[in-house]
Chains A and B, each alone.
Chain A
């Protein structure tokens, strides 16, 4: 078992206002297939998924799908030795097959759903998988594992995989825009409600399910919504969700059980069961599929902690760099975020001053995140863990005062106001943080931990195959690079 490592050093950070974020502004409006307005929602989703072609995807969407694949594979290489992964391997190894889907970094294979469980667990193990905004879904770890497994098994092309992945983000996050589970009377993580739609969309597209079968697959998606938000995240949770949804998609393909076509909008369907009502904006959101490209809202992480704290932390980091701030010369830090719909309990987590039992316990604390940055000047995985009992950090946390403020459309808006001991007042804000992940960063990212598992030529091939994924004829050639050579065993 190892601790989390520092990764992605030196990639740089851009603070950007969301209004000028290029990807969101250039969303494709040419695709927008029009679902049948009177059809059940699950049918309309299926119609959309069936209609989208690779040519409908804007170049930046395709590039983002590749980048997120690289990102999550790098996370998997990083996570392979984590305890969570070791436990998953212990369970999965007895189920090993000589045929089946590729298991990252292993010589054995697994049935597709079990491989999705394991690979998703690897990608999640260092807790830095991507999160979509404003929907708050851990999308990548739910989408790429079944996507890779099914594309490999069916010898799908790279184009087919790319389309499937983009659609997985699109369907899952569009549904999530309708209602925020954190704000529900019985709050829960968004992935717990909507998570099944990602794997089933990816799988359904790669399986080439017809509208009826895919719509029935969405019946499964509603019914595999699972998870209890109490006390942090159960280990392997996302892997389990991925496994169940992938298995359900396989059932849907062979016929499966007939679900009601109204599992989304029905009187005992998804929204009624989790929110007590069907959101009024649901039809318009469904009609908007393909106009926003939700994958562009997926944010990577460069340091531990909830993605909700990324923007204020980066803003403070920028101020520290500009004004040479230290714990000694700062009198007070006011952190202002948008008036989000978090539950009172979630707000307590975000405002927690500790003491923290471990780094997971500190995960949501904005005071901790800001204090570590102030004390250490940066925030990396090692620093996040090392400062849990640092008295300077504890003292710096007490300088932090949290506020919310209405009137900000951007879901990640944050403003930091620092008052120094000599009376200066420094203010900076941002709507969003976009971490650049250009192609030249892909290779170093994959090699950082991948070189312990795979040969250099494999990693190079992997990087090139992903970079040129739309021209890869068979994704199995890509997944083959994820199996270590015998000499690395």
Chain B
């Protein structure tokens, strides 16, 4: 007996298989050798990036709270590692805790144009499952690259910019579920059902942009793993849960994809190569204009004392993201982080982004500069487009324009050690970084992930 129409009982001779099944066929068919070298290297880079973030997040109150909560739930040892913490917990608890620490500072990577937090939605679930499954490094890489690919391609280009919900809310569970399904070696039928469970666990509202909850991503990671576990156990979801008249797209997104086109795009123009890291707090939508501001300030010696007016042109879809263009005062730190005028002001005041400025976003010197920032919204095809014009008190104008920015590669060990040495010896981090750089040859991820946790003896000495 099943509650939904089983996926495997229906003949598809007369019509194409449902979208979930076609996605599943793709997910199950990806091979490491088929992946571009750039995608593989990017997957390693993003792994290092997010692990570094987890160490940083573990030092925050939010991060510590999530870790302690995971341990309180587990009550007895499990198979999975929580980054920065000795002792092991259950797989879903580890995914929850790691997602929460990765997100704690508001950093993580973002896929464009889908505007989804791909790494945050993928790595915590993938690491927890890979460790539990004793997956190889190659399997982990394939799972991660495939998860980014599915997530990015499922989001119709326009959805990232105009969805009534943040795209990561409805689409988020697909990434972790894809990675988990792949690592659990689910069959295509099971994988399709895992995607169905992921669709059914889509959740989240946009209300309270200014207070984006950090533990939403931990909840999504739990959903994603559960989706694959239930599918593995035989659980079933509706055949057409994605594209059906009352399916995921119709009821949560408000428009339907072209299944044929979506499937045809899989594997082309890899999504993981579209990802953008964050190196400072705030929305990734502001990275391009912030870097343009930094470039202008550094190139021409501009500062709060000599710039009289700043004009920034942005795509008009920013009107639905008011916090990102707010000139203050800022009710919360998070709202300031999201604000391009705020970030512009602190750059003009200090010549760089001083994170301490976020602690006092309404200081008079900052608000005095944000009032000089004038945002202009206009139609642009690229959601990241920005044009920054600074006019000095003498009337000279300096202009920069762009629609993309890529941060220079990380120095892996330094990135991990920045906060990681608080928890584990530097030598351990060096071993981890080296193993990640050679991840396709790692036999068992369960040997790798524990490098991110201190020994119990070391932890007890904190």
Assuming the contacts A228-B200, A231-B5, A232-B3, asked whether A247 and B213 have C-beta atoms less than 8 A apart, the reply is no
- Number of residues in B with C-beta < 8 Å to the partner? 62
Assuming the contacts A111-B73, A230-B246, asked whether A87 and B233 have C-beta atoms less than 8 A apart, the reply is yes
Q: Is B229's CB within 8 Å of the partner chain A?
A: yes
Interface segment, A235-243, A280-288, A293-301? A235-243
Q: Is B76's CB within 8 Å of the partner chain A?
A: yes
- Give the distance to chain A from B1, nearest Cβ to Cβ, in Å: 5
Q: Is B165's CB within 8 Å of the partner chain A?
A: yes
Q: Which residues of A contact B211 (CB under 8 A)?
A: 257-260
Q: Are A228 and B246 in contact (CB under 8 A)?
A: yes
Q: Are A87 and B230 in contact (CB under 8 A)?
A: yes
Q: What is the CA–CA distance of A230 and B3 in the complex, to the nearest angstrom?
A: 12
Q: Is B240's CB within 8 Å of the partner chain A?
A: yes
Interface segment, A25-33, A168-176, A262-270, A333-341? A262-270
Q: Are A269 and B207 in contact (CB under 8 A)?
A: yes
Q: Is B239's CB within 8 Å of the partner chain A?
A: yes
- Give chain A interface residues in 32-86, CB to chain B under 8 Å: 82-84, 86
Closest to B197 in A: A234
Interface segment, B37-45, B151-159, B249-257, B311-319? B249-257
Q: What is the CA–CA distance of A100 and B223 in the complex, to the nearest angstrom?
A: 21
Q: Which residues of B contact A359 (CB under 8 A)?
A: 1
Residues 260-286 of chain B, each 1 if its beta carbon lies under 8 Å from chain A, else 0: 000000000000000000000000000
Q: What is the CA–CA distance of A82 and B2 in the complex, to the nearest angstrom?
A: 9
Assuming the contacts A228-B199, A228-B247, A228-B252, asked whether A219 and B208 have C-beta atoms less than 8 A apart, the reply is yes
Q: What is the CA–CA distance of A263 and B213 in the complex, to the nearest angstrom?
A: 12
Give the contacting residue for B205; candidates A1, A98, A263, A357; CB below 8 A: A263
Q: Are A226 and B208 in contact (CB under 8 A)?
A: no
Q: Is A489's CB within 8 Å of the partner chain B?
A: no
Q: Which residues of B contact A358 (CB under 8 A)?
A: 1-2
- Give chain A interface residues in 138-161, CB to chain B under 8 Å: none
Assuming the contacts A187-B246, A232-B5, A357-B5, asked whether A222 and B205 have C-beta atoms less than 8 A apart, the reply is yes
Q: What is the CA–CA distance of A251 and B214 in the complex, to the nearest angstrom?
A: 11
- Give the distance to chain A from B442, nearest Cβ to Cβ, in Å: 25
Q: Is B324's CB within 8 Å of the partner chain A?
A: no
- Give the distance to chain A from B460, nearest Cβ to Cβ, in Å: 23
Q: Are B200 and A240 in contact (CB under 8 A)?
A: yes
Q: Which residues of B contact A233 (CB under 8 A)?
A: 3-4
Closest to B69 in A: A254
Q: Are A82 and B1 in contact (CB under 8 A)?
A: yes
Q: Are B76 and A99 in contact (CB under 8 A)?
A: yes
Q: Are B235 and A87 in contact (CB under 8 A)?
A: yes
Q: Which residues of A contact B436 (CB under 8 A)?
A: none
Residues 391-402 of chain B, each 1 if its beta carbon lies under 8 Å from chain A, else 0: 000000000000
Q: Which residues of A contact B233 (CB under 8 A)?
A: 86-88, 90-91
Q: Which residues of A contact B244 (CB under 8 A)?
A: 230-231
Q: Are A231 and B205 in contact (CB under 8 A)?
A: no
Q: Is A377's CB within 8 Å of the partner chain B?
A: no
Give the contacting residue for A228; candidates B202, B210, B213; CB below 8 A: B202
- Give the distance to chain B from A83, nearest Cβ to Cβ, in Å: 5
Q: Which residues of A contact B207 (CB under 8 A)?
A: 222, 260, 262-263, 266-270, 272-273
Q: Are A232 and B199 in contact (CB under 8 A)?
A: no
Closest to B196 in A: A234
Q: Are B213 and A225 in contact (CB under 8 A)?
A: no
Q: Is B339's CB within 8 Å of the partner chain A?
A: no
- Give chain B interface residues in 189-219, CB to chain A under 8 Å: 196-197, 199-211, 213-216, 219
Counting chain A CB atoms within 10 Å of each CB, the highest count among B201, B223, B245 belongs to B201
Q: Which residues of A contact B216 (CB under 8 A)?
A: 223, 257
Q: Is B237's CB within 8 Å of the partner chain A?
A: yes
Q: What is the CA–CA distance of A98 and B75 in the complex, to the nearest angstrom?
A: 9
Closest to A346 in B: B246
How many A residues touch the partner, as a band? 35 or more
Q: Is A120's CB within 8 Å of the partner chain B?
A: no
CB-based A-B contact count at 8 angstroms: 200
- Give the distance to chain A from B63, nearest Cβ to Cβ, in Å: 12
Q: Is A255's CB within 8 Å of the partner chain B?
A: yes
Closest to A385 in B: B1
Q: Which residues of B contact A228 (CB under 8 A)?
A: 199-200, 202, 238, 241, 246-248, 251-252
Q: Which residues of A contact B229 (CB under 8 A)?
A: 91
- Give the distance to chain A from B285, nearest Cβ to Cβ, in Å: 17
Q: What is the CA–CA distance of A244 and B213 in the complex, to the nearest angstrom?
A: 15
Q: Is A20's CB within 8 Å of the partner chain B?
A: no
Q: Are A186 and B245 in contact (CB under 8 A)?
A: no
Closest to B79 in A: A94
Q: Are B219 and A230 in contact (CB under 8 A)?
A: no
Assuming the contacts A95-B90, A98-B76, A235-B236, asked whether A223 and B203 have C-beta atoms less than 8 A apart, the reply is yes
Assuming the contacts A83-B2, A98-B76, A228-B248, asked whether A257 and B213 have C-beta atoms less than 8 A apart, the reply is yes
- Give the distance to chain B from A63, nearest Cβ to Cβ, in Å: 32
Q: Is A248's CB within 8 Å of the partner chain B?
A: yes
Q: Are B215 and A100 in contact (CB under 8 A)?
A: no
Q: Which residues of A contact B215 (CB under 8 A)?
A: 251, 256-257
Q: Are B240 and A263 in contact (CB under 8 A)?
A: no
Assuming the contacts A83-B2, A258-B213, asked whether A247 and B219 have C-beta atoms less than 8 A apart, the reply is yes
Q: Is A97's CB within 8 Å of the partner chain B?
A: yes
Q: Which residues of A contact B210 (CB under 8 A)?
A: 260
Q: Are B203 and A273 in contact (CB under 8 A)?
A: no
Q: Is B65's CB within 8 Å of the partner chain A?
A: yes
- Give the distance to chain B from A402, nearest Cβ to Cβ, in Å: 21
Q: What is the CA–CA distance of A113 and B92 in the complex, to the nearest angstrom?
A: 12
Q: Are B251 and A186 in contact (CB under 8 A)?
A: yes
Q: What is the CA–CA distance of A340 and B134 in the complex, to the nearest angstrom?
A: 54
Q: Is A389's CB within 8 Å of the partner chain B?
A: no
- Give the distance to chain A from B3, nearest Cβ to Cβ, in Å: 5
Give the contacting residue for B2; candidates A95, A235, A243, A268; CB below 8 A: A235
Closest to A188 in B: B251
- Give the distance to chain B from A404, nearest Cβ to Cβ, in Å: 21
Q: Is A474's CB within 8 Å of the partner chain B?
A: no
Residues 111-150 of chain B, each 1 if its beta carbon lies under 8 Å from chain A, else 0: 0000000000000000000000000000000000000000
Q: Are B205 and A236 in contact (CB under 8 A)?
A: no
Q: Are A230 and B234 in contact (CB under 8 A)?
A: no
Q: What is the CA–CA distance of A95 and B213 in the complex, to the nearest angstrom?
A: 27
Q: Are A232 and B254 in contact (CB under 8 A)?
A: no
- Give the distance to chain A from B277, nearest Cβ to Cβ, in Å: 23
- Give the distance to chain A from B422, nearest Cβ to Cβ, in Å: 22
Give the contacting residue for A266; candidates B76, B202, B208, B241; CB below 8 A: B208
**Other CB < 8 Å A-B pairs besides A87-B235, A99-B75, A186-B252, 20 of them?**
A3-B1, A84-B2, A95-B92, A97-B75, A98-B76, A223-B204, A226-B202, A230-B240, A230-B241, A230-B250, A231-B4, A231-B244, A232-B3, A235-B235, A254-B65, A260-B207, A260-B208, A262-B208, A268-B209, A273-B164
20 contacts between A and B (CB under 8 A): A86-B234, A88-B230, A222-B207, A223-B216, A226-B201, A226-B203, A228-B248, A228-B252, A230-B238, A230-B245, A230-B250, A231-B246, A234-B238, A254-B68, A257-B62, A257-B216, A258-B211, A273-B205, A359-B1, A360-B1
User: Which B residues fall within an 8 A CB radius of A?
Assistant: 1-5, 9, 62, 65, 68-69, 73-76, 90, 92, 164-165, 196-197, 199-211, 213-216, 219, 222-223, 226, 229-230, 232-241, 244-248, 250-252, 254
Give me the 6 closest cross-chain CB pairs, A-B, nearest first.
Answer: A260-B208, A231-B238, A257-B213, A268-B206, A230-B244, A230-B247
